[in-house]
Amino acid sequence: MPAVVAPDADYPVLAEVDVLVVGAGAAGVAAATVAAEAGKSVLLVEKYGFAGGAAVAGMSGTVCGLYLANGAGSPPEQVVWGFTERFRHGLAERGGLTPPQRYGRTWTSAHDPLVWRETADALLAAAGVRVLFHTSVVGVVMDGDAYRGAVLSSNAGTCVVHAARTIDASGDAALVARAGGRHTFGDAGRIQNPTMFFRLGGVDVDAFLSGYGEDTISPPWVSERIRQARELGADLPRDKIWIFTTPRPGELMVNATRLTGADGRMLNVIDPADFTDAEIRGRRQVREYARFIARDLPGCQDAYVVDTGVEAGVRQTRTITGAATLTNDAVVSGRKDPSGIARSPWPIELHDGERPKLHWLDDDYYEVPYLTLVPEAGENVIVAGRCLSAQHEALASARVTAQCFEYGHAAAVATVLSLDEGTPYRRVEGARVRSTMRQNGSAL
């Protein structure tokens, strides 16, 4: 099957819609909901049987990027609102979100993946979004350089959807790549490591916290014990690990594994062979870290593995070449932008070595320009999520959940403006997108 087909290709037409959204992660759920609430007909397609993307299938498990980084003893200060806050509130009112937990100099909250799915289901249904789970995109409908929809595949067969506008919220720039759009992989091919997240049950959480401490980032004594265990042959490649309490009693969520090839090379999970390697090695490392935690950490002697992510947690794959690019300097300098469509106070959190690199943005944030969501070429398409146009270290900050909700929010607002005014995405004014988002509750 060709990656690109013409609008009159000989496939059954499933639907003709105003907006096709590909991918039901944080960005896709926000984009589909906001576009439908504006009166547009929206079809959301997702390869899994649930919404959530990396937050649920990958069990990244936290809503990162809401709070300023500040000194120890300072309370959480939320600076990201908008659709992100709508979703955060939905999780909290269903009992699916913890209070803010200390993460180094900032804060984050852990969520229940099942409640995440239910919150997304409720928002999408209330907005009138048509959702197709268990459906994959296998091609792009193109008319010259204009996107006109996508070719879909499911157990029912192959069909096309015709769409006036398409939002690529796949996280992998799947449509843009299939259409031949320019993209990169990290820093000259060096991308961030995937991680297999897991949850532990049977924990005496009070005893655990009394020894481990309130900060979710492991204290020095834990890292030292990991190094000692590794010297004795344990497969524990990361000595700086992160452990969160969850909304459920007696349970912890663990971010500890570091997945590379057997030869130590970076794994690019766009390649199914590399993704398979990550899954198998991830499960092995989960058992090793679970044994270490049960043996060495207080309150965990009876701990057991509840589950892992449905897949290894993916931080980075393709990054589009956009009409604008979020630079490393813009992030570290806290640059504000008149076309900014999302704030981010999250540190540069770079996972491409033995120890995660953290560069904190103390008491500050930067703004992500609108045109980072717009590919440099091609009409009728915009992206939302971690595949936005950004330099490598900038993406290590900009890719997290709170910001992905707001990218989806922005993509939907831009889509409505583009449709209503017959304007290409590149000519939609970022300042107008920003203004509408502010009316919708975003802090910009």
Q: Say which residue the tokens 């268990």 belong to.
A: 134
CA angle 218, 386, 66 (to 5 degrees): 55
The rounded Cα 247 to chain-centroid distance in angstroms is 20
Structure tokens given for 444: 């910009």
Give the count of beta carbons closer than 10 Å to the beta carbon of residue 61: 28
Q: What is the pLDDT of residues 270-294, one digit of tens each?
A: 899 999 999 999 999 999 999 999 9
Q: What is the pLDDT of residues 147-174, one digit of tens each?
A: 999 999 999 999 999 999 999 999 999 9
Q: Are 382 and 374 in contact (CB under 8 A)?
A: yes
For 254, phi then psi, to 5°, come to -120, 130
Q: Say which residue the tokens 């799947």 belong to.
A: 174
Q: Are 332 and 348 in contact (CB under 8 A)?
A: yes
> 352: pLDDT confidence band, cut at 50, 70 and 90?
low
The Cα 311–Cα 54 span in angstroms is 9
Structure tokens given for 396: 């290590």
Q: What is the pLDDT of residues 174-216, one digit of tens each?
A: 999 999 999 988 777 677 788 999 999 999 999 999 999 999 9
- Rounded mean pLDDT, 241-253: 98
The half-sphere exposure of 144 on its side-chain side, counting CA atoms within 13 A, is 3
The Cα 36–Cα 15 span in angstroms is 16
Share of the chain above pLDDT 90, in %: 89
Q: What is the pLDDT of residue 1?
A: 67
Give the count of beta carbons closer than 10 Å to the beta carbon of residue 300: 24
| DSSP letter assigned to residue 76 | P
CA separation, residue 87 to residues 27, 83, 172, 430 (Å): 11, 6, 23, 24
- Does the pTM surpass 0.85? The reply is yes
The Cα 196–Cα 283 span in angstroms is 7
Q: What is the pLDDT of residues 82-91, one digit of tens each?
A: 999 999 999 9
The Cα 347–Cα 316 span in angstroms is 16
Q: What is the pLDDT of residues 32-66, one digit of tens each?
A: 999 999 999 999 999 999 999 999 999 999 999 99
Q: Are 217 and 103 in contact (CB under 8 A)?
A: yes
Could you tell me the end-to-end alpha-carbon distance of the chain, in angstroms, rounded to an integer?
44
Nearest to 80 by CA among 262, 421, 313, 344: 344
Q: Is the pLDDT of residue 356 over 80?
A: no
The Cα 1–Cα 200 span in angstroms is 43
Q: Is the pLDDT of residue 24 over 70?
A: yes
Q: Is the pLDDT of residue 398 over 80?
A: yes
Residues recorded for the chain: 444
CA angle 236, 237, 238 (to 5 degrees): 95
Nearest to 379 by CA among 438, 328, 426, 332: 426
Domains along the chain with CATH numbers:
4-54+113-183+318-342+364-439 (3.50.50.60), 198-308 (no CATH)
Partner residues linked to 5 by β-bridges: 141
Q: What is the pLDDT of residues 310-346, one digit of tens each?
A: 999 888 889 999 999 999 999 999 999 999 999 999 9
Give the count of beta carbons closer than 10 Å to the beta carbon of residue 422: 6
- Rounded mean pLDDT, 1-23: 94
CA separation, residue 179 to residues 6, 166, 345, 377 (Å): 12, 12, 33, 10
CA separation, residue 115 to residues 51, 64, 131, 132, 228 (Å): 11, 17, 18, 19, 38
Rg (CA), the chain: 21
Strand, helix or coil at 217?
Answer: strand
